[in-house]
């Protein structure tokens, strides 16, 4: 999402004891990840989005978006922002956009080679790869015959193969240029892009060329992009959708099964977090006490998985900040908010990634921050006007938790 540069990060130098398996504890240093320059353009009374993931070298790829213009009468809520990288040793750098006058590009993942994947957003979406040196390369271009929807996203890569998603023609439609099916795509080392499955999307790929994701919008799968071996981890049905969210180099997978609204309303009514071993044996991860739902977003080593657990009210007007960041280890769920000192005044809502060093990225908010407005407008056909259904919400922040003495 745009040009470079560096800003200092604020380090909250603090630590806490944390139950980390039987007879073990770990202390965390907490650092706030600050985006380079987008906040200068933000309207402070309105909400923002903040998220990211970390690689094994401690480099974070994140996204920041905020509102720069809000007009309730016209139903307009314009956002600005983009992707960036951050580490404690070089600060924050914006990732470039092919057109500096546009906004909305985003990152999806970062690998240990320092390659960041995502989508460059202009008049269309194209799947791209950024380098830490500032390079920007299109790796999933738009399909030429798709006349209406041109939307391609690079999801992840391992230095040889990359997986992504894009709208492609469906054999069920008589109009080839009307591309309405989201497809699972693979890019080979020679640059060839292959459409693997329609109505499906990948979520990650490991160094051994095994990808995971969602097949036919209902089943969690692992797929070897070279041999084309497909293994179903869990099948879905009309009211349940299983998704694999991440795979590590040991072949272990995280994900969740969601209860969905079959009438087409809320896409996720509630969920249960899952983990699969390399032999596809499934473990249902426990909820935090008092919670009704959980989703696992990233799988670490030593049996660790991170995600969120809470009321599971994922659809508007509910907010993801009502959830709590969780670490699963040794068959137990730990609230990461219990791992940081209370005097910090932070609430961690969701843990999005964990690396081999045990570093965790989690987004949340400062308890002392004032509530802001998440703008939302609905058009009423009978009157031809917009009504304001905005809700109070939290300013989202991103943090890195680093274990000390591990």
Domain boundaries of the chain, sorted by first residue: 11-404
- pLDDT at 123 exceeding the cut of 90: no
| pTM listed for this prediction | 0.90
- At 38, the pLDDT band (50, 70, 90 cuts) reads low
pLDDT of residue 143: 87
> Is the pLDDT reported for residue 1 higher than 50?
no
pLDDT band at 2 (very low <50, low <70, confident <90, very high): very low
The pair of three-digit structure tokens given for residue 385, joined into one six-digit string: 């006007």
- When comparing pLDDT for 267 and 130, which is higher? 130
Check residue 405 and give its pLDDT.
63
Between 234 and 151, whose confidence is greater? Answer: 234
Q: What pLDDT is recorded for position 177?
A: 65
Q: At residue 313, does pLDDT exceed 70? A: yes
As a whole number, mean pLDDT of residues 30-38 equals 88
What tokens appear for 189 in the block?
A: 């080392």
- Whole-number pLDDT of residue 222: 98
User: Alpha-carbon distance 106 to 53, whole Å?
Assistant: 13
Residue-level pLDDT at 302: 86
Average pLDDT in the 13-26 region?
38
How far apart CA 192 and CA 17 sit, in angstroms, is 50
Q: Give per-residue pLDDT as tens, 174-195.
A: 676 677 889 999 999 999 999 9
pLDDT value at 391 more than 80: yes
Looking at residue 235, what is its pLDDT? 97
Which pLDDT band, with edges at 50, 70 and 90, does 125 fall under?
A: very high
Mean pLDDT, all residues of the chain = 88
How many Cβ atoms sit within 10 Å of the Cβ of residue 161? 18
**pLDDT above 50: residue 378:** yes
% of the chain with per-residue pLDDT over 90: 71
Give the mean pLDDT of 4-24: 30
pLDDT given at position 176: 62
Lowest mean pLDDT among 143-147, 305-309, 388-392: 143-147
First to last CA, the chain: 35
Q: In which residue are the tokens 């790869």 written?
A: 129
Residue 136, both tokens? 């920007």
Query: pLDDT tens for residues 65-95?
Result: 999 999 999 999 998 889 999 999 999 999 9
CB neighbourhood size of 104 (10 A) = 17
Q: Any idea which of 1-10, 180-189, 221-230, 344-353 has the lowest mean pLDDT?
A: 1-10
> What's the mean pLDDT in 254-271?
88
Alpha helix positions (H), 145-221: none
Supply 79's token pair.
């956002």
Q: Which residue has the higher pLDDT, 96 or 23?
A: 96
What pLDDT sits at residue 314? 85
Print the SS3 string covering the chain: CCCCCCCCCCEECCCCCCECCCCCECEEEEEEECCCCHHHHCCCCECEEEEEEECCCCCEEEEEEEEEEEECCCCEEEEEEEEEEEECCCEEEECCCCCCCCCCCEEEEECCCCCEEEEEECCCEEEEEECCCCCEEEEECCCCCCCCCCEEEEEEECCCCEEEEEEECCCCCCCCCCCCEEEEEEECCCCCEEEEEECCEEEEECCCCEEEEEECCCEEEEEECCCCCEEEEECCCCCEEEEEEEECCCCCEEEEEEECCCCCCCCCCEEEEEEECCCCCEEECCCCCCCCEEEEEEECCCCCEEEEEECCCCCCCCCHHHCEEEEEECCEEEEHHHHCCHHHCEEEEEEEEECCCCCEEEEEEECCCCCEEECCEEEECCCCEEEECCEEECCCEEEEEEEECC
Higher-scoring residue by pLDDT: 30, 24 = 30
- Architecture of the 11-404 domain: 7 Propeller (2.130)
How far apart are alpha carbons 33 and 108 in whole angstroms? 17
Cα gap 227→294, rounded to integer Å:
33
**Of the candidates 167, 169, 127, 157, the residue with the CA atom closest to the CA atom of residue 55:** 157
Per-residue confidence at 303, pLDDT binned at 50, 70, 90?
A: confident
- Geometric angle at alpha carbon 275, from 274 and 276, rounded to 5°: 125
Kindly tell me if the per-residue pLDDT of 401 is higher than 90.
yes
* pLDDT value at residue 404: 79
Which carries the bigger pLDDT value, residue 104 or residue 195? 195
């Amino acid at each position: 999402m745009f040009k470079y540069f560096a800003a200092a990060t604020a380090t909250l130098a603090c630590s806490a004891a944390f139950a980390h398996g039987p007879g073990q504890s770990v202390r965390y240093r907490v650092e706030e990840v600050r985006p380079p320059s987008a906040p200068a353009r933000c309207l402070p009374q309105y909400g923002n989005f903040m998220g990211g993931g970390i690689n094994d070298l401690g480099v974070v790829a994140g996204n920041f978006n905020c509102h720069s213009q809000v007009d309730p009468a016209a139903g307009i809520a314009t956002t600005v922002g983009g992707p960036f990288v951050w580490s404690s040793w070089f600060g924050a750098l914006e990732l470039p956009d092919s057109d500096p006058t546009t906004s909305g590009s985003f990152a999806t993942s970062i690998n240990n080679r320092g390659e960041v994947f995502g989508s460059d957003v202009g008049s269309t979406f194209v799947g791209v790869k950024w380098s830490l040196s500032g390079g920007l390369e299109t790796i999933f271009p738009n399909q030429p015959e798709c006349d209406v929807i041109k939307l391609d996203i690079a999801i992840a890569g391992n230095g040889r193969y990359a997986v992504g998603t894009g709208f492609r023609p469906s054999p069920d439609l008589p109009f080839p240029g009307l591309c309405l099916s989201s497809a699972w795509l693979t890019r080979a080392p020679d640059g060839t892009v292959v459409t693997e499955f329609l109505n499906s999307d990948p979520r990650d790929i490991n160094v051994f060329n095994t990808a995971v994701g969602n097949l036919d919008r209902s089943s969690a799968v692992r797929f070897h992009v070279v041999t084309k071996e497909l293994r179903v981890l869990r099948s879905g049905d009309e009211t349940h959708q299983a998704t694999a969210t991440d795979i590590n180099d040991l072949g272990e997978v995280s994900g969740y099964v969601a209860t969905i609204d079959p009438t087409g309303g809320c896409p996720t009514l509630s969920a249960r977090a899952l983990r699969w071993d390399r032999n596809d044996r499934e473990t249902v991860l426990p909820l935090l006490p008092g919670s009704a739902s959980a989703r696992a977003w990233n799988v670490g080593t030593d049996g660790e998985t991170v995600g969120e657990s809470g009321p599971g009210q994922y659809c508007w007007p509910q907010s993801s900040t009502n959830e709590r960041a969780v670490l699963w280890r040794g068959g137990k769920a730990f609230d990461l908010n219990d791992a940081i000192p209370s005097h910090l005044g932070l609430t961690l809502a969701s843990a999005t990634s964990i690396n081999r060093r045990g570093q965790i990225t989690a987004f949340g908010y400062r308890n002392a921050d004032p509530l802001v407005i998440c703008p939302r407008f609905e058009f009423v056909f009978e009157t031809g006007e917009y009504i304001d259904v905005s809700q109070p919400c939290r300013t989202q922040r991103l943090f890195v938790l680093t274990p000390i003495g591990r």
